[in-house]
Amino acid sequence: MEVLIINQSEVAQLLPMGECMDIMVETLGALAQGNAILPLRPVMWLPERVGALGMMPSYLGNIDAMGVKVISVFPGNLNTEYDSHQGVVLLFETKNGRLLAIMDASEITAIRTAAVSGVATKLLAREDAGDLAILGSGVQAVTHLSAMLHARKIRRVRVWSRDGDHARHFAERESQRHGMAIEVAATAQEAVKNADIICTTTSSPEPVLMGEWIAAGAHINAVGSSVPHTRELDTAAVVKSRLFADRRESTLNEAGDFLIPRKEGAVTDEHIQGEIGEIIIGKIAGRKSPDEVTLFKSLGLSVEDLGSAQHIYTQAIEKTIGTWVELGGNRHA
């Protein structure tokens, strides 16, 4: 049995941000309609929590496919040549359970995570929102800038990072890439002042965005934390926001940005307004007024990887991209 191998650069070629955002609308809509199977992801931590191995299986009925992402998470890779998220996405068909493709997970994760934030921004940010603040200057900062440019007409961009050199390199590189001037802020507070779209894309275990800094009417995409014991937003930021999730169950089990304020007694489970997919299918409303603060808490879902992988696989065959290898899987005589 032959399996298609699709590497990191090929994933980037086959999954443009605009197309990925369209796929995420379909995927999250299918999830909200109950047309998916999505177990909570098991995570195996190494001693002293220096790194973890996450396993994320799922099934999507709208494309009749199943798959799993297996990914290592090593936050300490910030100053190395390696991404903090590395691994593979495995795509299977559901008639005979054949493995169809093995794909680089780092690029899929980078693109689809930002694409979901882009969808959330289209659904929740004010129509005239265009003052963007990005906290963080790594991989997700790069892809989130692209997604925000797809979601709204961005007129100003500010970036902040704990490492000033990283922020300056980000601003120089992305200014040239997108043909716009990106400002470097000295502090996170300076970066978000009067911003109406804020993306937190850091690896910080403690808050980098405080509620008192957030302007009325802002929309926030909180992306960096995906475990119960870390958060990027302080309690005040969560309390003042209408909170939307990619998936309620995941938020109640994994989102430190929500779980820590809940433990403090500042919010209850009812603070979660609903899921992004529920807005897509018209089950719930999104933004209700120009002045309210909306918050999308992103945790990343395996169905997002699966929807992306199916699209990549289809495009790869159509464009004859990737490498076929003989792997096995045939029945023994």
In angstroms, how far is CA 27 from the centroid of its own chain? Answer: 14
Go through the domains of the chain in sequence order and give each one's CATH number.
Answer: 2-108+302-326 (3.30.1780.10), 117-297 (3.40.50.720)
Residue 169 is encoded by which pair of tokens? Answer: 């390199």
Question: 159-201 pLDDT, tens per residue?
Answer: 999 999 999 999 999 999 999 999 999 999 999 999 999 999 9
Residue 297 is encoded by which pair of tokens? Answer: 């808490």
Question: 287-299 pLDDT, tens per residue?
Answer: 999 999 999 999 9
The CA dihedral of 172, 176, 177, 180, to the nearest 10 degrees, is 100
What is the percentage of the chain residues whose pLDDT exceeds 90?
Answer: 89
Q: Is beta strand 131-135 parallel, antiparallel or unpaired with respect to 293-297?
A: unpaired
Does pLDDT of 301 surpass 90? yes
Q: Output the pLDDT for position 225.
A: 86
Q: Output the pLDDT for position 94.
A: 96
H runs (alpha helix) in the chain: 8-14, 17-32, 105-124, 139-151, 164-178, 188-192, 235-239, 248-254, 256-263, 276-280, 302-318
Confidence of residue 328 (pLDDT cuts 50, 70, 90): confident
Other beta carbons within 10 angstroms of residue 290's beta carbon come to 11
Residue 152 is encoded by which pair of tokens? Answer: 């709204």
CA–CA dist 259, 299 (Å, integer): 13
In angstroms, how far is CA 258 from the centroid of its own chain? Answer: 17
Specify the pTM.
0.94
Q: Output the pLDDT for position 57.
A: 96
Angle subtended at Cα 143 by Cα 140 and Cα 147, rounded to the nearest 5 degrees: 125
Does pLDDT of 332 surpass 70? no
Confidence of residue 78 (pLDDT cuts 50, 70, 90): confident
The average confidence (pLDDT) of the chain is 95
